[in-house]
Amino acid sequence: MSKAKQQKFLDLYEPIHDRFERFCKARVYGNMEFQDLVNETLLVAFDKFDTLKSKQAFLAFLFGISIRILSNNNRKKKENYLQSEEKSHDIEDNSAKTEMDAEIHFLYKALGQLKETQRESIILFEISGFSIKEIAKLQDTTISAVKLRLKRGRKNLMEIMTFESTFKRGEIYSD
Amino acid sequence: MIDQNKLDALFVKAKKAPHTSVFNKTKEQFLIASSDNVDKTTSKKDHFITFNKGIIMLIIAGTIALTSFLMSGDIEETKTESIIQTQVELKSEIGEETTQIERKNEAPKSRNIAIVAFSADEDVSVIPDFVSISISDLLKKEIKPSDFGVKRKELATRQQNSEFVFPKLTKEEISDNHLQKKKMIKALNKKDSKVYSYIPAGSFTYQSEPISVAAFHMQRAEVTNLEYKTFLFDLLIQDKKADFLVAKPKQELWTEELGEEYRFMQDDYFSGEEYEDYPVNNISRKGAEMYCVWITRGANKINKENGKMLINDVRIPMRSEWIKAATVEGKFPEYYWGDSSPALCFRANFSMKGYEPSIPTNNRTGEEISFGHPNALTTWGYISGEQKILAKGKLYSSNEYELHNMCGNVAEMVYESIGLNDLGIRSQLESGTAGGGWMNTYEEIKLNAEDLYQGVEDEHLNIGFRVVITYTGSN
């Protein structure tokens, strides 16, 4: 029985694996191993698999669970909030960055400096391809709030990434 | 300042970025974890049932014991006697068995002693040769006195002559190697665009010299450890041990050049799975040329069988070909990415020597961003924040021909054409490199920089190669 359930679950998961993994990678970049988030989400989702009403909702079901896992973790870590914010620049996602283009690595690093809600909205919208309406549902908020998060998030992201321009060739040569 | 378009382009890139773990790996982990969960819940139930059973058994046993105690009365004395008798018999039997066991144990003990004594009798200059005899070998084969030691001088000569212990491939490794070879040959015959880029024919002027090059395909990234390992293992499978010895990488260069601190690179860089997609280095030019012949023959064997057109050859590029591909017909004479904004450390992997990137600040808060490895040897080590030296073949952005790492990472072998015969065909070729490697500075990795490895044919930490596929019979 459980093996049949496992197989059914994996059959649904396989086609969306890439998309889900990409979200996890971008979402927790610099904070934890994305593979841990993928595994934890899959286990919770499997546990609650019987409550899934339609196969079409499986992707949103997974994203919803991972978002809840992250927000629960954040709540638990609230006391150490400042420390972890500082550390987020130092902790690296080894497995992820070795595969990545240096520019994407840099983009993920910059995303890591945004507010949690802004970061999540941007990743869901720009990288995972969800609509604003779907994001509002996933984040349990209004459409206008998501729009605002996207707008501010993009603005902040551009500001953070601007430091790259200080690296221009003429300025970095030490001779 | 980064603009909306650039940001959108980055998101598109991130959307298409290759994912790191394959589905099967995640599936495997999921199956283990979810089965564990199921096991845990079932095992809790099992414990409960066992506990209940235990209590029932105890009650039954207690009742039986009580009944027998009440009923026993006068028979007790005779029973006690018989119990004592049985105990005595048992003791004597156990005693005999123990002595027998001890006797059995004595044999190996005495043999061990003999071995020790033998070692002590030997000449003091005799030292155990643990290189040639592994513990498993000792267990498997019959021990001969000669196995236990070689004279110091002999050992030294053997080490100098590097009596090489060839790896023994398992059936699984052999079949994996065949599969990988097949994959490489298929990509070559198909000119798979994921692996090879088409470089059209063209004439251009470079450093005031006219260059004219026929069309060819060039490998998009440097030859990787996995590709080279496949070649080496194939030599072993075909029992070409002499060729294997010529082509094998000289991994000891890691510690010889960089010290013991980099033993992990010596141990893992070529053989570790995590480095499979990294460029191969420490190989001789001869080894690289043998690789080219091997893959050409492999591809043409398949082409012949299928009645398809044969490949002219796969080889190390001529400098003119390399220059055309790297500079995009002289369009980018210095660095292949031109003058675009990202800093050099985001563009190529080169030595941190003389390179001082300014510390980035967060424009929102004005604070300095903690970034980069303080003691990194290379720029990839710096931006990855780790003790990394080389970067994966396709890590950095490519040029217009979709070629990666044309500057830095490993200096790539090229042929210099130094002489023409009477017919105007190049007749003399010399060894050279282009593009510089991780040991070179940002000036030395320029496409038009002087070649620091002119004539070097031996194994080198900084030298690797990529291949071109040609169509006309030039060589």
Would you tell me which residues 332-361 of chain B have a C-beta closer than 8 angstroms to some C-beta of chain A? 339, 341-347, 354-358, 360-361
Cα–Cα distance between A113 and A30 in angstroms, integer? 10
A52-61, A74-83, B204-213, B405-414 — which one is most confidently predicted on average? Answer: B405-414
When divided into structural domains, chain A yields a total of 1
Cα–Cα distance between B247 and B267 in angstroms, integer? 18
* Gap from B344 CA to chain A (nearest CA, Å): 7
Whether A164 and B23 lie within 8 Å, measured CB to CB: no
Nearest to A92 among B356, B360, B384 (CB): B384
Total H helices, total E strands in chain A: 11, 0
Mean pLDDT of A146-164: 83
pLDDT of amino acid B274: 87
Q: Where are the domains of chain B?
A: 20-71, 79-160, 180-470
| One-letter amino acid of A111 | L
Cα–Cα distance between A147 and A141 in angstroms, integer? 11
pLDDT of amino acid B231: 95
Would you tell me which residues 269-298 of chain B have a C-beta closer than 8 angstroms to some C-beta of chain A? none
And the tokens for A22?
């990409």
- The CATH H-level (homologous superfamily) assignment of domain B180-470 is paralog of FGE (formylglycine-generating enzyme) (3.90.1580.10)
pLDDT of amino acid B70: 65
Place of tokens 């953070």: A160
Cβ-contact B199, B402 below 8 angstroms: no
pLDDT of amino acid B427: 58
And the tokens for A78?
């609230």
pLDDT of amino acid B54: 65
And the tokens for B231?
């070649």
| Secondary structure E strands in B327-425 | 411-420
Whether B29 and A162 lie within 8 Å, measured CB to CB: no
pLDDT of amino acid B463: 96
Please name which of B381, B372, B374, B443 lies closest in space to residue A174, comparing C-alpha atoms: B443
pLDDT in single tens digits along all 475 residues of chain B: 577 888 888 888 887 776 656 677 788 878 887 776 555 544 444 555 555 666 777 777 777 777 766 665 444 444 444 444 444 444 444 444 444 444 444 433 333 333 333 333 333 333 333 333 333 333 333 333 333 333 333 433 444 445 678 888 889 999 999 999 999 999 999 999 999 999 999 888 887 888 888 899 999 999 999 999 999 999 999 988 889 999 999 999 999 988 888 898 999 999 888 899 999 999 999 999 999 999 999 999 898 888 888 888 899 999 989 999 998 888 888 888 776 556 788 888 999 888 877 666 676 777 776 667 778 889 888 887 777 899 988 888 888 899 999 999 999 999 887 665 565 555 567 889 999 999 999 889 988 898 999 889 999 999 999 999 986 544 3
pLDDT of amino acid B81: 46
pLDDT of amino acid B288: 95
- DSSP of B204-269, one letter per residue? EEETTEEEEE--EEEESSPPBHHHHHHHHHHHHHTT-HHHHHHHS--TTHHHHHH-GGGHHHHHHT
Domain around A81: 2-172
Nearest to A39 among B2, B29, B396 (CB): B29
Q: Which residue of B has its CA nearest to A171?
A: B358
What are the CA-CA distances from residue A57 to residues A12, A49, A138, A141, B434 (Å)? 10, 11, 12, 19, 53
